[in-house]
Structure 1
Amino acid sequence: MVEEAIKPEDLNITDETKPKTVRSDGEEDEQPEEGEIVGDVDTLSSSSSSRPGTAVVQHPLEHSWTFWFDNPSAKAKQAAWGSSMRPIYTFSTVEEFWSLYNNIHRPSKLAPGADFYCFKNKIEPKWEDPVCANGGKWTMTFQKSKSDICWLYTLLAMIGEQFDHGDDICGAVVNVRARQEKISLWTKNAANESAQVSIGKQWKEFLDYNDTIGFIFHDDAKKLDRGAKNKYTV
């Protein structure tokens, strides 16, 4: 568990409580290019978690997590799905997460076709990954450029171990498309209905999301593609 847990009530984090990237002239820095991380993560983490004369305090997460990025321009040139996907950075503390999060684009700033992932370290965000193979995913749909806050809250609930069946969670992905954005929560044991339904219900509560969401098995998605039907709904 996180030494100082990221609780659901802590998800409403204001700009004043989050570290920012500031230039030497005092102005807030521009957003980086897609998938790019600006500055040295260790330096950013240290500056955001300490004051002069005090020791740097790190708050370890229960799991290490890796951000992955699939660039739409690179995807268009590749024949095999997933061949353009690349890991960006792995973090294992609260401080590292904020340093990364504040130096990468929000979903609303990514180009249509981009996919941005956050998965437990050592798990690749692919159906073929042994941990994901027997799993599935819950999906929420948002209007264009409206998923930023829900993406952040999903990450905080996930890395802060707020789910009762958190061990079943593999990671999350935001898919940016021309007309809408989707956030999906991947799990590893699709056949365990009670665990999946619990995860779906809690996810909706954390995000205050009122629409019905559905859970699709990865096996069905592989076989039926867009014809795959929801096995569970909440």
Structure 2
Amino acid sequence: MEPAVEKKEAEQEEQQLPQARKEDAPAAAAAAAEEDEADSEETERRNRDLKAGLHPLRRKLVLWYTRRTPGARSQSYEDNIKKIIDFSTVESFWVCYCHLTRPSSLPSPTDLHLFKDGIRPLWEDPANQNGGKWIIRFKKAVSGRFWEDLVLVLVGDQLEYSDDVCGVVLSVRFNEDILSVWNRNASDHQAVMTLRDSIKRHLKLPHSYLMEYKPHDASRRDNSSYRNTWLRG
């Protein structure tokens, strides 16, 4: 290619960059404004709870339930997800949790999802679409204890990179139970690996347990949550 042509193309690219930035700016500004509004609402909510003599959580959480009946007529995953309850204080959490069915008594296949308010437990949700999940498989005899520990860790906002965490899931299956922790950004390797280490530490996970990671876009491609995982450790 002639130097003059290369120079002209480079100049055209430079001219296009400001325009691209201008086009992206409104979307970025809108997202920032929406996040600021959500933070403001959370602050107001915590202040109200404190004035009421309660112990507010850092984030309001929502518990969801999914039960798919084997052999039943096909129904979309989103249609199967049912909201059980939301809570924003320590007191309301314990009222809810004490009435929940234990994992050992749940039929297979069943999923319990505990997610931050405003985030649906779907790969396609805007907060999840660029993220992924850490996966841990348990024998049924011990899954209940680890699930309870994981719930308490989320409620207590104890995980590192906690702002990157979207929620946690218990998947009850025939031969095993699976716990997963969903995060927002699968491409942030440092955040993903730090989250893994934080999960291991808070759950006091024995070295014999293998953790697997899978981005949600990979799950969308193969239509599977727990097969063909990418990272292990």
TM-score tier after normalising by the smaller chain length: 0.7 to 0.9
Query: How far did residue 81 of structure 1 move?
Result: 1.9
Query: How far did residue 88 of structure 1 move?
Result: 0.6
Aligned CA RMSD, in angstroms, stands at: 2.0
User: Larger radius of gyration, structure 1 or 2?
Assistant: 2
Match of 1:68 in 2: 64
Distance 2:71 2:125 in 1: 19
Distance 1:178 1:74 in 2: 11
Distance 1:80 1:61 in 2: 32
Match of 1:155 in 2: 151
Aligned counterpart for 1:217 among listed residues 197, 215, 224: 215
SS in 1 for 2:199: helix
TM-score, normalising length from structure 2?
0.72
Match of 1:123 in 2: 119
Q: Percent identity?
A: 31
Residues 54-96 of structure 1 show CA distances to partners (whole Å, capped at 9, x for unaligned) of: x973110010000000123399344322211111101000111
Distance 2:174 2:227 in 1: 22
SS in 2 for 1:88: strand
Residues 158-196 of structure 1 show CA distances to partners (whole Å, capped at 9, x for unaligned) of: 121111200000001100011110000001111001001
Alignment of 1:72-91 (within 5 A): 72-73=68-69, 76-91=72-87
C-alpha contact (below 8 Å) 1:107/1:145 kept by paired residues: no
Unaligned runs of at least 5 residues, structure 1: 1-54
Task: Quickly say closer, same or farther: Cα 1:228–1:149, change in 2 above 3 A.
Answer: closer
User: Normalized per residue, which structure has more helix?
Assistant: 2
Unaligned runs of at least 5 residues, structure 2: 1-50
Aligned counterpart for 2:55 among listed residues 59, 62, 74: 59
Distance 2:96 2:57 in 1: 15
Task: Quickly say closer, same or farther: Cα 1:131–1:74, change in 2 above 3 A.
Answer: farther
Higher relative contact order (CA 8 A, sep 6+): 1
Aligned counterpart for 2:102 among listed residues 106, 115, 119: 106
SS in 2 for 1:146: helix
| 1:171 and 2:167 are equivalent in the alignment | yes
| 1:187 and 2:205 are equivalent in the alignment | no
Give, as a single letter, the amino acid of the residue that structure 2 aligns with 1:87: K
